[in-house]
Amino acid sequence: MKKMAIIATKGTLDMAYPPFILASTAAALGYDVQIFFTFYGLQLLRKDLSDVKISPLANPAMPMPVPMPVFVQMLPGMESMATMMMKDKMKKKGVASLEELRSLCQEADVKFVACQMTVDLFDFDKSDFIDGIEYGGAATFMEFAGDTDICLFV
Amino acid sequence: MNADKELDARGLNCPLPILKTKKSLADMTSGQILKVISTDCGSVKDMQSFANQTGNELVSSTEAAGEYIFLMKKK
């Protein structure tokens, strides 16, 4: 059986998609898949994903309906508005929600491993995380990753 | 060719048509035909790749009025 390992280090909406899309697809293609969530990537394991947002600030590549100067992007509420607009667009275009992709991964037996060091570092409460995840460190990741066909850092 | 099962994947975008195809095939038996209807033009290449990698056979791939019809024979 082919194997794929992914390290998910980012906790924004745009960067949350690639790990879940690739993991669910690889699992559908018969891969044994593991995602190691570390640093901000741990946000993707929370039961409540409503804090996973996208920011137009310092993100000049983000397509905007109207040109928006940086000082406007800094205003309170802009991040929530951009996130709302992005989610709305995704829904219209038939792109799966993060919640849906994440549960499809779990249904397909993708293994989720949370970085214990980062959990301690940020004082995360494990009860905020979804069920069915494991906790481990760099050596845990290497044991699986050392034997994979595809290994990605996101 | 008659399909044993039909999957309506209209309106869904990558990777959902593939994930739902995989799920639909799971409760079918070997040799049965799954018909998938998609509106995602990216699924044309993806369905072929899915077949190549999983051993299921893509019997046909056609387009009509903005819809893509795939017949997939379960391995």
Encode pLDDT of B43-60 as tens digits: 999 999 999 999 999 999
pLDDT at A19: 98
Task: Name the stretches of chain B with pLDDT < 50.
Answer: none
Residue numbers in A near B54 (CB within 8 A): 29-30
Helix, strand, coil share (%) of chain A residues, nearest 5: 45, 15, 40
Is B41's Cβ below 8 Å from some Cβ in A? no
pLDDT at A63: 85
CB–CB contact A25 B54 (8 Å): no
CB–CB contact B16 A96 (8 Å): yes
Could you tell me the residue ranges of all domains in chain A? Answer: 3-53+98-153
Cα(A147)–Cα(A111) distance, rounded to whole angstroms?
15
CA of A57 vs chain B CAs: smallest distance (Å): 27
CB–CB contact A28 B19 (8 Å): yes
pLDDT at B62: 97
CB–CB contact B53 A96 (8 Å): no
Q: Kindly report, residue by residue over A77-88, the tens digit of the pLDDT.
A: 999 999 999 999
**Which domains does chain B carry?**
5-73 (3.30.110.40)
Dig out the tokens for B21 from the structure: 């195809």
Q: Kindly report, residue by residue over A107-123, the tens digit of the pLDDT.
A: 999 999 999 999 999 99
Q: Does a cis peptide bond (omega within 30 degrees of 0) precede residue B15?
A: yes
pLDDT at B31: 97
What are the phi and psi torsion angles at B34 (to 5°)? -105, 130
Distance of alpha carbon B71 from the chain centroid: 6
Q: Kindly report, residue by residue over A58-79, the tens digit of the pLDDT.
A: 888 888 888 888 888 889 999 9
CB–CB contact A95 B13 (8 Å): yes
CA distances in angstroms from B30 to A30, B24, B56, listed in the order given: 17, 13, 9
Q: What H or E segment, with its residue span, contains residue A114?
A: strand A111-115
Cα(B52)–Cα(B46) distance, rounded to whole angstroms?
10
Chain A and chain B share a number of CB contacts under 8 A equal to: 32
Q: Helix (H, G, I), strand (E, B), or coil: what is residue B26?
A: helix
ipTM score of complex: 0.89
pLDDT at A73: 87
pLDDT at A68: 85
Q: Are A29 and B50 in contact (CB under 8 A)?
A: yes
> Which of A29, A91, A110 is the mutation pick for testing B, counting most B CBs within 10 A?
A29
Strands (DSSP E) found in B1-75: 5-9, 33-38, 57-64, 67-73
Dig out the tokens for A119 from the structure: 């959990």
pTM of the model: 0.92
pLDDT at A62: 87
Beta bridge partners of A116: none
Closest of B38, B4, B8, B48 to residue A29, by C-alpha:
B48
The domain A3-53+98-153 is classified under which CATH number: 3.40.1260.10, 2.40.30.160, 3.40.50.720, 1.10.150.130? Answer: 3.40.1260.10
Q: Kindly report, residue by residue over A27-58, the tens digit of the pLDDT.
A: 999 999 999 999 999 999 999 999 999 998 88
Dig out the tokens for A61 from the structure: 């590549």
Residue numbers in A near B15 (CB within 8 A): 21, 24-25, 28, 96
Clarify whether B41 is annotated catalytic.
Answer: no
